[in-house]
Amino acid sequence: MELMQTLRSRRSVRVFDGTPVDRAVLEEIIAVAALAPSRMNRQPWFFHVATGDARRRVAEVMAMTTSYLDEYMDVLGPEGVERAARFYAELGHAPVVIGVATPKTEDRFETRDFAISVGASVENLLLAAADHGLGTCVLSVPHWVADQLTNVFEIDPEWEIVSLIVLGYADETPRPQEREAEVAVFLE
């Protein structure tokens, strides 16, 4: 697929058919994620790729979020909360879940630039996956299970988990989400 077409057609996928993903494909996707630009080429990202039993342990931790989701009742409504709880607990039957980690830092400029760098690498990963015919969805790391996820993914104590990505072959065709029409101003 051409890059522009991949950029335009990528959608977040939340229902997967469970088919395993080849290790070689996962390795290529991660390698491409690591080609993203970063502040002073610090490459402040590390990908913890969980399949099989490790993936099951992540799902067990994410299932613990269910009892906290009531906080979001006002925003999501009862149906939305139930859908979110099910998605978190089952990870949409995705065979792969990736924990994304970044170095801990107190420096506010580093914090900002690390976030942009990690975001760039995550987007590379999503697009590389799409190019392989794979669906993905980025998940916020619920703060209430961050410690448990850190343990399951065996993240270095100097690093912190900042994102989760579920990945697999899609079993749904998500509708495009609305986008703001005006997102830029052109100055001369």
Ligand X SMILES: Cc1cc2nc3c(=O)[nH]c(=O)nc-3n(C[C@H](O)[C@H](O)[C@H](O)COP(=O)(O)O)c2cc1C
Site for ligand X, rule CB under 6 A: 11-12, 14, 137-140, 174, 177
Do β-strands 159-168 and 96-103 pair in parallel, antiparallel, or remain unpaired? antiparallel
- CA-closest candidate to residue 62, choices 165, 133, 157: 165
Q: How far apart, in whole angstroms, are the C-alpha atoms of residue 38 and residue 31?
A: 15
Give the shortest CB-138-to-ligand X separation in angstroms. 4
Would you say 95 or 142 has its CB closer to ligand X? 142
Please compute Rg for the chain using Cα positions: 17
Would you say 12 or 52 has its CB closer to ligand X? 12
Give the shortest CB-139-to-ligand X separation in angstroms. 4
Would you say 155 or 165 has its CB closer to ligand X? 165
Would you say 23 or 86 has its CB closer to ligand X? 86
Residues paired with residue 98 on neighbouring β-strands, in sequence order: 49, 165
Q: How far apart, in whole angstroms, are the C-alpha atoms of residue 117 and residue 9?
A: 23
